[in-house]
Structure 1
Amino acid sequence: MRIVGLTGGMGSGKSTIAQMFKELGVPVYNSDERAKKMMVSSKTARKEITELLGDKAYSGEKLNRSYIAEKVFKDEGLLRKLNGIVHPLVRKSFISWARRQKYPYVIQEAAIIFENKNQDFYDKIVLVTAPKEVRVNRILKRDGSQRENILERMNYQWPDSKKIPLADFVVNNENLSETRLKVEDIHRLLLDNS
């Protein structure tokens, strides 16, 4: 079985592309969703995150996402430490999940594959792109974040120009019907090469 990474900057539409692959029958693992769950459910992660960011990192049994984002996106060292707690848990979970799948390939949706130098873990990588302004507007509509906060968080991700040469496939996600055709082409290529 092949492992395919699906990545792209904030607001590029990774989840939309992941859904298209799911509709084609491909098992897809969403790293961000899983990380959020594990940050709450794992006692070890919870303890380490509280030690790193303080008691305000949790509000009862929920992750205080706005507090965490405000802390880590203003301090690259904190972000790196938080990723050092969460990413190994997610990797272990993904590997266990992937072993249970019965399909020629699986997809791991992950926002920062290249930034974390994890590209060698994947057999192929699909990069989702969209113009920066389109991405900002999508995020504004999606979660009501403030523009300055979005741009601040985007600065922690590599620009598409740096990721494109490293990707095996690039999906420009502006026009949904064209995007769907591109996803179907990639799917056929991945099945043919499995």
Structure 2
Amino acid sequence: MMTVIGLTGGIASGKTTVANYLSEHGFAVIDADIAARKAVEKGSNGLQQISEVFPGTLNEDGTLNRKLLGSIIFNDKEKREILNQIVHPIVRNIMDEEKDAALKQGKAVIMDIPLLYENHLEHTVDEIWVVYVPYYIQKSRLMERNNLSESEADARINSQMPMEDKRKKADVVIDNSDDLCALYQQLDSLIKKYTSI
């Protein structure tokens, strides 16, 4: 039986870099963000539900106005919950189909799920890898990457479970507080372990 690994981290922790590297080395990476985009594509059932619950969040061309929806939910926990109740079941179905297809091909599967702990999805994977960075690095990378103010960066980071909590719960911690070379060394040793099974 091939392993299903849940890959998570925090915003700007470098999880995408890790996922891309693992994908290049033969793992099937199933990305929750990509599935989430599919779940709210133009004309989809998910998008229709969102537009009914959050009026005014559609662009003129019938696509989702992500920036507007983001500004509504980022500082409102209840509205964020409502959105999650619409999107998550659809995302899970998309990811499950992709996971089953990859397992049939005999690949080790990475379920790339940013909010794995927040959404209590631990039971859907065999083990969990957390891409970890300390708060101050996470914050400075996020401010630089998204051109955010300090308070905007804090709000986004604080909408997720603290990195320290994720780190404590992880089966494997991938420390990304150094450079890419150090990151890839850690990944190479993990890849060896999983491709020799």
Q: TM-score, normalised by structure 2?
A: 0.90
C-alpha deviation, 1:141, in angstroms: 2.9
Single out whichever of 78-87 and 57-66 deviates more from structure 2.
57-66
- Matches for 1:1-194 after TM superposition, within 5 Å: 1-41=2-42, 43-101=44-102, 102-174=105-177, 175-193=179-197
Q: TM-score, normalised by structure 1?
A: 0.91
Check the 8 A contact 1:26/1:103 in 2, yes or no. Answer: no
C-alpha deviation, 1:83, in angstroms: 1.0
Could you tell me which amino acid in structure 1 is paired with residue 11 of structure 2? Answer: M
What is the rounded CA distance, in whole Å, between the counterparts of 2:83 and 2:196 in structure 1? 39
Could you tell me which amino acid in structure 1 is paired with residue 129 of structure 2? Answer: V
Q: 1:59 to 1:90 in 2, by over 3 A?
A: same
Check the 8 A contact 2:6/2:111 in 1, yes or no. Answer: yes
What is the rounded CA distance, in whole Å, between the counterparts of 1:32 and 1:192 in structure 2? 29
Provide, for residues 73-124 of structure 1, a one-character-per-residue CA deviation record: whole Å limited to 9, x for no partner. Answer: 1111111111111111111111111122223411111111111111111101
Runs of 4 or more consecutive aligned structure 1 residues displaced over 3 Å after TM superposition:
none
C-alpha deviation, 1:59, in angstroms: 4.8
Provide, for residues 157-187 of structure 1, a one-character-per-residue CA deviation record: whole Å limited to 9, x for no partner. Answer: 1112211221111011122111111112222
Could you tell me which amino acid in structure 1 is paired with residue 34 of structure 2? Answer: E
Provide, for residues 34-84 of structure 1, a one-character-per-residue CA deviation record: whole Å limited to 9, x for no partner. Answer: 212321245211111012211234452432121111111111111111111
SS of the aligned residue for 1:157 comes to coil
SS of the aligned residue for 1:74 comes to coil
Check the 8 A contact 1:7/1:127 in 2, yes or no. Answer: yes
Identity of paired residues, percent? Answer: 27
Check the 8 A contact 1:129/1:170 in 2, yes or no. Answer: yes
SS of the aligned residue for 1:113 comes to coil
For structure 1, the residue ranges without an aligned partner over 5 or more in a row are none
Aligned residues: 193
Could you tell me which amino acid in structure 2 is paired with residue 33 of structure 1? Answer: I
